[in-house]
Amino acid sequence: MICNLGSKDFMKLLKTNKFAIASALAAVAFGVSSASGADQLTVVSWGGAYTKSQVEAYHKPYTKQFGTKILSENYSGGLAEIKAQVEAKSVKWDLVDLEMSDAIRGCDEGLLETVDISILPKGDNGVAAKDDFIDGAITDCAIANIVWSTIYAYDKSKFSGKKPQTMADFFDTKKFPGKRGMRKTPKANLEFALTADGVPARDVYKLLATKEGVNRAFKKLDTIKSSVIWWEAGAQPPQLLADGEVAMTTAYNGRIFNAIAVEKKPFEIVWDGQVFDMDLWAIPKGAKNKAEAMKFLAFSTDTKRLAGQAAWISYGPARKSSIPLIGKHAEAGIEMGPHMPTAANNFKNVVQNDFEFWADRQDELNERFNAWLAK
């Protein structure tokens, strides 16, 4: 594409669309141009309001600029499907939105392509990508797009008196009666259990690294096990609340915000004890459209694109240069800054997900969790 431009046309394009040039150069580095790139990319994410935010901020602009159609597929996380595709040498997914611990494990197990960070554009402030992304956002095989939190929420109309305020309240079914919704995984639930049992945030993983700490967490979960309705997909918790099936539920903060801001639901987020996390783009090993997926990855993690996603859902961008650009919600007109997990009022008692802990211990703790569920 660039090679066919005259010098005047090239300078005009450079002035009007710097990112198009950067993306095209990255494409050339991977042996692909807009003319010879893939006609379609299969991008896999978590569905609901989250995928909508990606479609609006990334997919539509990418298709408009490069002509490549984006096919969105949903999944419920984990590495099982990626592993199956890679081992069968029949990789159907081009790009997947992964939790950090899965990105680390997937890279260690050879399930993901490595990413050359030179394809990542500088921030709009001119800062190199390696310095513009927040700490931990760039890994060997994946690049972060958002920061998010698992919180719990309740329906305000269900509580006429005192309202839940702490993680301990979530586990107190005498003080706050009703069913609880929880994700069907040990991740975050074990952290919540220890926080509710009085363990300071800074000591949660120190304790979980011991047999005694894990036993203590499961003992705390025992206290509400009979009251729990388990969910797996991120769209389920707000629906459980809306249908009155639970009084409170753990959830991804952005899903509850969307229900409040867009659907006008009477829900309230409790930020105490939130488990803070990142999601990242990764490319399965052997993806058929690897070069185009790399181009999409670079495009969707530039300054403006990441800030643009924050206009659709209350997840923070993974680039520092994107943060000052966060404005109002695209539909509801609400200022988004105060609703981010990292806003000062929301970030007072936070457990930051220990990615290495979960990468190392997830299989073992999944096995114990599933055995506990079966009792």
Q: Give 265-307 pLDDT, tens digit per residue.
A: 999 999 999 999 999 999 999 999 999 999 999 999 999 999 9
DSSP-derived secondary structure for 232-287: -STTHHHHHHHTTS-SEEEEEHHHHHHHHHTS---EEEEEEEEEEEEEEEE-BTT-
Side chain identity, residue 278: M
Residue 65 sits at φ, ψ, to 5 deg, of -80, -40
DSSP-derived secondary structure for 33-79: -TTTS-SEEEEEE--HHHHHHHIIIIIHHHHHHH--EEEEEE--SSS
Side chain identity, residue 141: C
Q: Which token pair is 36?
A: 């010879």
Residue 300 sits at φ, ψ, to 5 deg, of -80, -5
CA atoms of 219 and 345, how far apart (whole Å): 31
Question: Which residues face 335 on adjacent strands?
Answer: 328
What pLDDT sits at residue 10? 35
CA atoms of 134 and 298, how far apart (whole Å): 16
What pLDDT sits at residue 342? 86
CA atoms of 173 and 169, how far apart (whole Å): 8
What pLDDT sits at residue 1? 37
40-45/95-99 β-pairing: parallel
CA atoms of 231 and 192, how far apart (whole Å): 16
What pLDDT sits at residue 2? 35
What pLDDT sits at residue 126? 97
CA atoms of 233 and 223, how far apart (whole Å): 24
| Number of separate helices (H) and strands (E) present in the chain | 16, 10
Contact between residue 194 and residue 220 where contact means Cβ atoms under 8 Å apart: yes
Question: Which 3 state secondary structure label does DSSP give 127?
Answer: coil
CA atoms of 359 and 101, how far apart (whole Å): 5
Question: Which 3 state secondary structure label does DSSP give 133?
Answer: strand
Q: How far are the Cα atoms of 166, 251, 361 from residue 193, in angstroms, in the given order?
A: 12, 15, 17
What pLDDT sits at residue 37? 61
Global confidence as pTM: 0.82
Strands, E assignment, 125-247: 142-155, 180-183, 228-231
Provide the CB-side half-sphere exposure for 26 (13 A, CA): 24
149: region left, alpha or beta (phi > 0 left; psi from -120 to 50 alpha): beta
CA angle 151, 153, 158 (to 5 degrees): 165
Question: Which 3 state secondary structure label does DSSP give 229?
Answer: strand
What pLDDT sits at residue 31? 37
Q: Which residues of the chain fall below pLDDT 70?
A: 1-37
Tokens 């969790």 — which residue? 369
